Amino acid sequence: MALPLHVDVALTHLMGRKRQTLVSVTGAALGVGFFIAMAALMQGFQAFFIATVVDVAPHITISDEFREPARQPAVAAFPDGAVAVRGVKPQDERRGIKRGFAIIDALEEMPGVLVAPSLQGQVFLRYGATERNAALVGIDPRRELAITRLEKDMVAGSLLDLETRPDGVVMGVALAKRLGAATGDRLTAISPAGVLRRVTVVGLYRTGVTAFDDGMAFMLLKQAQILQDRANVINRIRLRLDDVDSARSIAARIEARFAYKAESWQEANEGIFNAFVIQNAIMYSTVGAIMVVAAFGIFNIISTVVFEKGRDIAILKSLGFAEADIRRIFLIEGVLVGVVGALLGWAIGYALVAALASVRFDLGGGQGAIQNDRFYLAYSITHYLIGAAFSITAASFAAWLPARRAARLNPVEIIRGAA
Amino acid sequence: MNAPPLVQAKGLTRVLPGVVPVTLVRDVDLSIAAGEFVAITGPSGSGKSSLLYLLGLLDRPTAGSVWLEGRDTAELDAAELAYLRLARLGFVFQFHFLLPEFTALGNVLIPMRKLAALPERAMRARALELLDRLGLADQAGKRPDQLSGGQRQRVAIARALANGPRLILADEPTGNLDTRNAQGVFDIFASLARESGTAVVTVTHDEHLAAQTHRRVVLVDGRVVDGA
């Protein structure tokens, strides 16, 4: 008897139709449960992906490119004039970041920023009769250790081995496998500049990101400069930040200051993050669809109760219940279904996530952008709260129409009809 | 000058709109004093129940108005009328009209819980006392379908009395009861009017019972022909 009167009457109505109530509650619960499981799955994967990318790749890469094509002197000289320059031939200049080491010194003044120079260029790697194209990155091993987590992905050797082996090269396991090479094997590297050098595999790594494992190799910066015939040139400055999320704004500041294109990790992976947005939209629309179906179930049971309990409504009105009271009773019925559905949905969601967490599968290795053997799941109270909000909102909307109809019932007509 | 009558109908008219409008109640003037026991009689379809619903603020008149305790109810909105029904009026219908899922005690408690003027313990005590007064002390925990017709009607009366109303409106309260139970209901009404000053207006077409009231109002075709 401790329940408030409106809740008491609402509960009595629902308990009078146990089976139908159960169906409505189950509908809402399934919606909430699936949402929690899907959200854990998708956001878990997204978080895993981001963590991997953030770990492996630098947070900001400054390259020797400009977003705007160079302005022609004629255009610069007559900024207000109608100048059209046709048939522009690019100047044959030595490519690379000019005064790169000065930029590095300036960047190192910034707090929470680690900087490493590199020279990246395409080379052919040849081992016996096998030839593979790879992006060869010339690095300073000690600085490189500071800006990526590549070292923890090493399966053989170390980046520091490059210091002791001037002809050393470190590459991804997938690339080595394709070449048929193992640690200690001597390969031939040929650059577009036409330089040919013998190199030795001193280390192998596996990050799980195919672009890294299958298409990249690292060697000493000096050696790379010789191979590319670009002495003292660097064309990438790579940064690692203490605050990963500030990459976008810091990149914008760097670009404003030095004019070179500075790409944050978010920008570099924009295509994938756009796919994530679409993925999330699909998830929310699927759950929305389940909830619409659940809402119809709730609408159905409350309409039925209003239809069957016309006499009770007339009694309550004759006893002095106002329209608002009647409306509240039936809204409470909807909300009760929504709340119980949400609670049950939490249990279903929790169970589904636990089941997903125990699944292991074998992708055969090497396929897909990222390799893994399990679902990466995000555990977040937010998913539970959003699921519950979905359920209760849908239930309230579904209850609104029948509740309004109940409130407007004319008691005199019903009493006359019964007499 | 005398105190205003408890309920006063002034030129009360109720027309059911439609292709052929039906006049249920036509220009009724009526006043009922506190403690009065009044029977409304008349042939079927003479507008007895319609008049009762208008007096009970359950329906709104097309013309004229009902004054309750010296106040014109035509000026009140639906929620205020509902509050007056809750605090000042009590209904008893021909069919018992109890909430089937609630016990006898639960049904009597509903108007009190809605009004929420008393603490919970006091509400329970009062509900049990009312049931006891109507000879239902041992039936408090039973649901309506476990009670006889006479018992149900007495539960309905107990519920109508829950908030200590000034006026009880009964619509053929004995229509479904045998003679003995019907007499019992009328005895309760008579003692209510006599002892607590509650006015009782009952629609009936039982001449024998109507004769036991203080006054008979006779309706024909929605018009009062006698007893106003």
Judged by DSSP in three states, A170 sits in strand
CA distances from A13 to A330, B101, B106 (A): 9, 8, 15
Q: Is the pLDDT of residue A59 over 50?
A: yes
Secondary structure (DSSP) of A358-397: T-B----SS-SSB--SB------HHHHHHHHHHHHHHHHH
Beta pairing partners, A60: A239, A264
CA distance B110 to chain A (A): 7
B166 vs B187: CA distance, rounded Å? 18
Q: How many residues does chain B have?
A: 228
| Band (B72; pLDDT cuts 50, 70, 90) | confident
Dihedral of alpha carbons A192, A197, A198, A202, sign? negative
* pTM (two decimals): 0.72
Task: Compare A8 and A287 and report the one with higher pLDDT.
Answer: A8
Contacts of B159 in chain A (CB under 8 A): 319
Given a contact cutoff of 8 angstroms between Cβ atoms, the answer to whether A183 and A214 are in contact is no
Residues 6 or more apart whose CB falls under 8 angstroms from that of B191 comprise none
- Give the pLDDT confidence of A241-273 residue by residue, as tens digits: 888 888 888 899 888 888 888 888 888 888 888
Q: Does B87 touch chain A (CB under 8 A)?
A: yes
Q: What is the CA radius of gyration of chain A?
A: 33
Alpha carbons B151 and A47: distance in angstroms, whole number: 68
Partner residue opposite B91 with nearest CB, options A15, A318, A416? A318
Residue in A closest to B115 by C-alpha: A320
Q: Quote the CA–CA distance of A360 and A28 in Å, as a whole number.
A: 30
How far is the C-alpha of B70 from the C-alpha of B74, rounded, in Å? Answer: 12
Is A5's CB within 8 Å of B113's CB? yes
* A74 — pLDDT class (breaks 50, 70, 90): confident
User: Could you read off the pLDDT of A341-375 as tens digits, one per residue?
Assistant: 999 999 999 999 899 888 877 665 544 445 567 77
CB contact under 8 A, B86 and A418: no
Half-sphere exposure of B62 (CA within 13 A, CB side): 14
Residue A105 burial by CB count (10 A; 0-12/13-18/19+): exposed, middle or buried? exposed
Percent of chain A residues past pLDDT 90, beyond the cut: 21
Rounded percentage of chain B residues whose pLDDT exceeds 90 = 14
A102-121: average pLDDT: 89
A347: helix, coil or strand?
helix
- The domain limits of chain A are 5-54+272-418, 66-260
pLDDT digits (tens, 9 = 90+) for A130-179: 899 999 999 998 888 888 878 888 888 888 888 888 899 999 999 999 99
Find the mean pLDDT for residues A394-402.
Answer: 89
Contact A418 B49 (CB under 8 A): no
Six-digit token pair at B129? 């006392």
Question: Do residue B95 and residue A419 have CB atoms under 8 angstroms apart?
Answer: yes
Q: Give the rounded percent of residues in chain A with a pLDDT score beyond 70.
A: 95
Which residue segments constitute the domains of chain B, with CATH numbers given? 7-226 (3.40.50.300)
Q: Is the pLDDT of residue A419 over 70?
A: no
Name the residue among A218, A170, A178, A212 with its Cα closest to residue A369: A212
pLDDT digits (tens, 9 = 90+) for A20-48: 888 888 888 988 898 889 888 888 888 88
One-letter amino acid identity for B141? G
Q: What is d(CA A255, CA A248) in angstroms, rounded to the nearest whole number?
A: 11
Mutate to test the interface with A, among B24, B76, B97, B145 (most CBs of A within 10 A): B97
Rounded to whole angstroms, how far apart are CA atoms A163 and A84? Answer: 52
Is the predicted pLDDT of residue A399 greater than 60, yes or no? yes
Alpha-carbon gap, residue A409 to A292, rounded angstroms: 27
- Answer whether A225's CB lies under 8 Å from A138's CB: yes
Going by pLDDT thresholds of 50, 70 and 90, the confidence category of residue A188 is: very high
User: Which residue bears the tokens 């609630």?
Assistant: B102
Count of Cβ atoms closer than 10 Å to residue A249 Cβ: 11
Can you give the pLDDT at residue A368? 46
Asked if A324 lies within 8 A of B94 by C-beta distance, the reply is no
**Any idea which residue has 């006063």 for tokens?**
B8
Please judge whether A419 and B172 are an interchain contact, meaning their C-beta atoms are less than 8 angstroms apart: yes
Confidence of residue A187 (pLDDT cuts 50, 70, 90): very high
Count chain A–chain B contacts defined by CB atoms under 8 A.
80
What DSSP line would sit under A228-269, residue for residue?
TT-TT---EEEEEESSGGGHHHHHHHHHHHH-S-EEEHHHHT
Indicate yes or no: CB of B114 within 8 angstroms of CB of A1.
no
**Residue for token pair 């919606």:** A31
What's the ipTM? 0.89
CA distance B102 to chain A (A): 8
Three-state SS string over chain B comes to CCCCCCEEEEEEEEEECCCCCEEEEEEEEEEECCCCEEEEECCCCCCHHHHHHHHCCCCCCCEEEEEECCEEHHHCCHHHHHHHHHHHEEEECCCCCCCCCCCHHHHHHHHHHHHCCCCHHHHHHHHHHHHHHCCCHHHCCCCHHHCCHHHHHHHHHHHHCCCCCCEEEEECCCCCCCHHHHHHHHHHHHHHHHHHCCEEEEECCCHHHHCCCCEEEEEECCEEEECC
Compute the distance between CA of residue A376 and CA of residue A385 in angstroms, rounded to an integer: 21
Tell me, yes or no, if A416 comes closer than 8 A to chain B by beta carbon: yes
Angle made by CA atoms A287, A293, A294, in degrees to the nearest 5: 85
User: In a mutagenesis test of the B interface, which of A12, A319, A327, A328 is the best target, namely the one with the most B β-carbons within 10 Å?
Assistant: A319
